[in-house]
Amino acid sequence: MTATRSNITTTGADPRLAGGRLTIDLDALVANWRLLAEKSPADTGAVVKADAYGLGIVHVVPVLWQAGCRTFFAALPEEGLRVKAVAPDARVFVLNGFFAEAFPVYEQSNLIPVLGSLHELSLWKKLNKGRKDKLPFALNVDTGMNRLGLNVDEGLAFAADGRAEKPILLITHLATADDRAHALNQKQFESFQELRAAFAGIESSIANSPGIFHPASREFDLNRPGVAIYGGEPLSDTPNPMRPVVTLEARIVQIQTGVKGETVGYGATTTLQRDTRIAICSVGYADGYLRSASGSGVPLRNAVPGGGEGFVAGKKVPIIGRITMDLTSFDITNLAEDAVKPGDYIELFGPNIALDDAARSAGTIGYELLTSLGNRYHRRYLHSGQSD
């Protein structure tokens, strides 16, 4: 029997007044997390930074907790506190470094910082001095990304220092995991194995969303998927196994007819090759619908000829002209004249236009589209309310 799903509306834009709507399928999100958890014997957490990739910590974390997720990763202490507010018993790691003024927050909240430099380790040790119970921390070691983290030699030296407090979790981050054939993957796995041996008995984590699909990641203890939970494709060389979570739609404001030879939009970058029916929709780059996805008149079109598309009345329709701050135009000439009308919605990504396909048309990745979503949308959260 199919579970009854209820719509949960946030305090966002009134649906009668909004130019667009976001539908977030929390059941699909949970199904994606479970699929990732089944791929590996390691424990599976969830990355919920950037307000759960734009979908809302307050909505995402409780359903993941209900599904069995017990470990979450945030970028900032402020985000970690919001996770704790809705999942007080969750284990929450903060990824983006440590600053001394945040120490009282860690003392009071049980957030766990991920330390990634000798400076941060020294600072953490100094601030913990005199405490009977030392606060826990995780250690980030850079095995090939040249971003945050101790280098491998520093990590090995720290492991050998008998006077040093040891972390409760050892992590590194894969730089090329979405490309499974890339040689850097193996190099990072080997370096991390060496570090793991040096930190014997300490929990270890290497697998992000694509990393979970690497057999070598099964040797470690904790996975930390991000974008795949939210429906993004984890790998570049295989069809996306994840269910779509987010559907973005915009209202059609007006339908115009342009005459062959006329131009469309700012810069007159599109000249009509036929009489053209144009649906002007209430969405633009102020809403996170990126200007680079325009049908013409942006630098990306010199490299990738096709711009973005919408889906309406059962068919895909191309963006025409430039995306502007509040409006985007679509060529609907190939639809029946009575197929759409003002007030109807056009899908920008969702079940009919994959998130990552929409992103590629804008020269970017699904992460950026999700985390750029603006606050003018009406949001609907769909959830059965069941944990199984």
1 labeled part of a ligand binding site: no
Q: Which of 49, 53, 230, 289 is catalytic?
A: 49
- Cα separation, 127 vs 125, whole angstroms: 6
State residue 304's pLDDT score: 86
DSSP states along 307-320: --EEEETTEEEEB-
First to last CA, the chain: 12
Integer Cα distance of 120 and 111 in angstroms: 16
The boundaries of the domain holding residue 176 are 39-230
Domain at 373, CATH number: 2.40.37.10
Strand 345-349 versus strand 328-331 pairing type: unpaired
The whole-number pLDDT of residue 1 equals 29
- pLDDT recorded at residue 7: 55
Q: Is residue 359 part of a domain?
A: yes
Angle at Cα 98 formed by Cα 96 and Cα 99, nearest 5°?
130
Domain boundary among 197, 230, 263: 230
Residues 272 and 359 in one domain: yes
Set 134, 260, 266, 341: catalytic member? 266
What's the confidence (pLDDT) of residue 3? 42
At position 271, the amino acid (one-letter code) is T
Is 91 annotated as belonging to a binding site?
no
What pLDDT score was predicted for residue 24?
96
State the Cα–Cα distance between residues 361 and 306, nearest whole angstrom: 7
Q: Please tell me whether residues 221 and 263 are part of one structural domain.
A: no
Which of the residues in the chain have pLDDT under 50?
Answer: 1-3, 387-388
49 is known as an active-site residue: yes
Same domain for 224 and 85: yes
Instruction: Write down the residue that tokens 């999700």 correspond to.
Output: 370
Task: Produce one character per residue of 303-341: b if its CB has 16 or more CB atoms within 10 Å, e if not.
Answer: eeeebbbbbbeeeebbbbbbbbebbbbbbbbebeeeebe
- Domain membership of residue 180 (yes or no) is yes
> Do 178 and 262 lie in a common domain?
no
Distance, in Å, from the CA atom of 329 to the CA atom of 281, rounded to the nearest integer, reads 6
Last residue of a domain, one of 181, 196, 230: 230
Contact 15, 345 (CB under 8 A): no
pTM given for the model: 0.94
Classify strands 20-25 and 246-258 as parallel, antiparallel or unpaired.
antiparallel
- The pLDDT, as a whole number, for residue 211 is 95
Q: What is the reported pLDDT for 4?
A: 54
Residue where one domain finishes, among candidates 177, 205, 230: 230
What pLDDT is attached to residue 8? 64
Shared domain for 305 and 205, answered yes or no, is no
Residues 295 and 362 both lie in one domain: yes
- How many separate domains does the chain show? 2
Q: What is the CATH number of the domain that holds 58?
A: 3.20.20.10
Do 128 and 214 belong to one domain?
yes
CA atoms within 13 A on the CB side of 282: 16
Under 8 Å CB-to-CB from 309, ≥6 apart: which residues? 316, 317, 318, 319, 330, 353, 358, 361
Long-range Cβ pairs for the range 97-103 (8 Å, 24+): 97/148, 98/123, 98/124, 100/127, 102/77, 103/127
Judge whether 30 lies within some domain: no
Say yes or no: 118 and 149 in one domain: yes
Between 57-67 and 26-38, two packed helices, what is the crossing angle to 10 degrees?
A: 50
Q: Residue with structure tokens 């699904």?
A: 366
For residues 333 and 362, membership in a common domain is answered with yes
> Looking at residue 332, what is its pLDDT?
98
